[in-house]
């Protein structure tokens, strides 16, 4: 069973439709497929695809720096599991099976897919569940390692990005994994209603569980992996962190108010801009401003509004504005003057 579940390129059984006497269960199966495809589910699918693409780009950028680190090996395994999830393409398989089900207009034909096709869908749901377990395990292991590096101040910016992407993948994995688990449990009771052809039963030796293991939203303290190498890593998601005694919070606000000197309050009037451009409406105002500033710059440069403007810049803006005025382009002269003053003050 485990080997079949792990096969990504599992052969699709031949499509065989069989006539049945009672077809009412098909309506319930179709409603389950329709209710599963919500806007929230589509959003989570797009987010995990974008996060996986971002992770692969970050790994390609820093592969030379981290390729000898043990934590980076778990990151490579995480990327491999995400690629395997994309290759599985379980949504396309589910969509194909849904189209095989008769709709309301064809209920009188009393033909439904065989149990062989339905078992294939259940196997694909089990496969995607195992892959999500593998992704969750790699997220925990790589995040634990990068957290140790972060405490030692190694590659602060890069590791922060890695941890952010890993945390997002962990959250999306738990939500989507539970979605597939619930969908599997809802489909499982209808397996007995699909007709079976003994000569074409490809999964007669497969043991289908009644329910799949749920994912825990919170990180777990213990991760148990099956020792059998022929089986996929199985994560037990039911053991959460042990609650520790909370650290008491001591308020130090009163002590700071008594002992610390917070200085003198600053008036908001001093934060206003020195040059009020709203008073400059025409070229005459600009010339008057240049004249006053020239006088102030000659006496004391630190006391004038244009003290951060260099001497050659001040002469250049005056020549440029005067050239626009001579060309009778007063609007352009005002625009050039305002942009220059705004950029320098």
Per-residue pLDDT tens over the stretch 113-149: 888 888 888 888 888 999 999 999 888 888 888 888 7
136 and 283 belong to one structural domain: no
Task: Report if residue 104 sits inside a domain.
Answer: yes
Does residue 215 sit in helix, strand or coil? coil
pLDDT value of position 264:
59
Half-sphere exposure (Cβ direction) of 117: Cα atoms closer than 13 Å: 20
pTM of the model: 0.58
Is the Cβ–Cβ distance between 7 and 232 less than 8 Å?
no
- Mean pLDDT value across residues 316-345: 85
Task: Report if residue 261 sits inside a domain.
Answer: no
Count of CB atoms within 10 A of residue 334's CB? 20
Residue 113 per-residue DSSP state? E
Task: Report if residue 250 sits inside a domain.
Answer: no
- Pick the residue with more confidence: 343 or 165? 165
For tokens 């000197």, name the residue: 261
pLDDT value of position 132:
92
Count of CB atoms within 10 A of residue 149's CB? 18
- Mean pLDDT value across residues 261-270: 52
Tokens at residue 293, please?
Answer: 């500033």
Domain count, the chain: 2
- Mean pLDDT value across residues 249-277: 52
Is the Cβ–Cβ distance between 175 and 135 less than 8 Å?
no
pLDDT value of position 107:
54
pLDDT tens digits, one per residue of 208-226: 888 888 887 555 443 343 4
185 and 76 belong to one structural domain: yes
44 and 134 belong to one structural domain: yes
Comparing 33-37, 58-62, 149-153, 224-228, the range with the smallest average pLDDT is: 224-228
Task: Report if residue 56 sits inside a domain.
Answer: yes
pLDDT value of position 87:
86
In this predicted structure, the answer to whether residue 181 has a pLDDT above a threshold of 80 is: yes
Three-point CA angle 268, 265, 275, nearest 5° = 25
For tokens 């959003």, name the residue: 43
pLDDT value of position 1:
47
User: Among candidates 1, 131, 148, which has minimal Cα distance to 71?
Assistant: 148
Domain span at 152 = 2-200
In this predicted structure, the answer to whether residue 310 has a pLDDT above a threshold of 80 is: yes
55 and 153 belong to one structural domain: yes
List residues bridging with 111 in a β-sheet: 19
- Mean pLDDT value across residues 309-331: 86
pLDDT value of position 193:
82
Domain final residue pick, 156, 182, 200: 200
- Pick the residue with more confidence: 240 or 308? 308
Domain final residue pick, 200, 234, 263: 200
Domain final residue pick, 142, 166, 200: 200
Q: Where are the alpha helices (DSSP H) in the chain?
A: 2-6, 24-36, 39-61, 63-66, 70-88, 90-100, 115-151, 156-187, 253-259, 283-299, 311-326, 330-344
In this predicted structure, the answer to whether residue 241 has a pLDDT above a threshold of 60 is: no
In this predicted structure, the answer to whether residue 13 has a pLDDT above a threshold of 80 is: no
- Calculate the alpha carbon distances from 41 to 79, 164, 169, 182, 250 in Å: 22, 21, 15, 13, 44
In this predicted structure, the answer to whether residue 277 has a pLDDT above a threshold of 80 is: no
Residue 241 per-residue DSSP state? P
176 and 288 belong to one structural domain: no
- Mean pLDDT value across residues 171-193: 88
300 and 192 belong to one structural domain: no
Is the Cβ–Cβ distance between 13 and 100 less than 8 Å?
no
| 251 phi-psi bin (left φ>0, alpha ψ -120 to 50, beta other) | beta
Q: Where are the alpha helices (DSSP H) in 89-191?
A: 90-100, 115-151, 156-187
In this predicted structure, the answer to whether residue 269 has a pLDDT above a threshold of 60 is: no
For tokens 């196997």, name the residue: 123
List residues bridging with 113 in a β-sheet: 17
Tokens at residue 320, please?
Answer: 């440029």
What does pLDDT average to over the chain? 76
Half-sphere exposure (Cβ direction) of 44: Cα atoms closer than 13 Å: 19
pLDDT band (50, 70, 90) for residue 265: low
Question: How far apart (Å, rounded) are the C-alpha atoms in residues 179 and 40?
Answer: 11
């Amino acid at each position: 069973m485990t080997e079949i579940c792990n096969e990504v390129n599992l052969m699709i059984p031949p499509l065989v439709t069989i006539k049945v006497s009672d077809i009412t269960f098909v309506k319930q199966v179709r409603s389950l497929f329709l209710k599963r495809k919500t806007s929230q589910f589509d959003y989570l699918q797009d987010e995990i695809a974008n996060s996986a693409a971002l992770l692969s780009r970050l790994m390609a950028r820093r592969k030379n720096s981290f390729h000898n680190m043990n934590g980076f090996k778990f990151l490579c395994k995480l990327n491999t599991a995400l690629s395997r999830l994309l290759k599985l393409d379980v949504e396309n398989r589910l969509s194909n099976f849904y189209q095989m089900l008769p709709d309301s207009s064809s209920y009188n034909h009393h033909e439904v897919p065989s149990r062989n096709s339905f078992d294939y869908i259940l196997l694909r749901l089990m496969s995607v569940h195992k892959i999500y377990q593998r992704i969750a395990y790699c997220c925990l292991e790589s995040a634990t390692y990068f957290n140790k590096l972060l405490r030692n101040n190694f590659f602060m910016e890069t590791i922060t990005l890695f941890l952010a992407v890993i945390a997002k993948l962990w959250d999306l994995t738990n939500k989507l994994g539970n979605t597939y688990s619930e969908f599997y449990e809802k489909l499982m009771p209808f397996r007995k209603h699909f007709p079976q052809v003994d000569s074409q039963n490809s999964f007669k030796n497969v043991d289908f569980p009644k329910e799949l293991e749920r994912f825990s939203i919170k990180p777990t303290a213990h991760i148990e992996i099956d020792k059998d190498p022929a089986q996929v890593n199985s994560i037990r998601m039911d053991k959460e962190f042990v609650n520790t005694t909370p650290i008491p919070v001591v308020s130090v606000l009163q002590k700071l108010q008594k002992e610390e000197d917070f200085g003198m309050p600053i008036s908001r009037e001093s934060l206003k801009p020195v040059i009020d451009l709203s008073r400059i409406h025409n070229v005459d105002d600009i010339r008057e401003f240049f004249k006053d500033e020239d006088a102030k710059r000659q006496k004391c440069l630190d006391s004038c509004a244009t003290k951060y403007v260099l001497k050659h810049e001040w002469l250049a803006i005056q020549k440029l504005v005067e050239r626009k005025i001579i060309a009778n382009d007063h609007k352009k002269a005002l625009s050039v003057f305002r942009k220059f003053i705004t950029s320098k003050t």
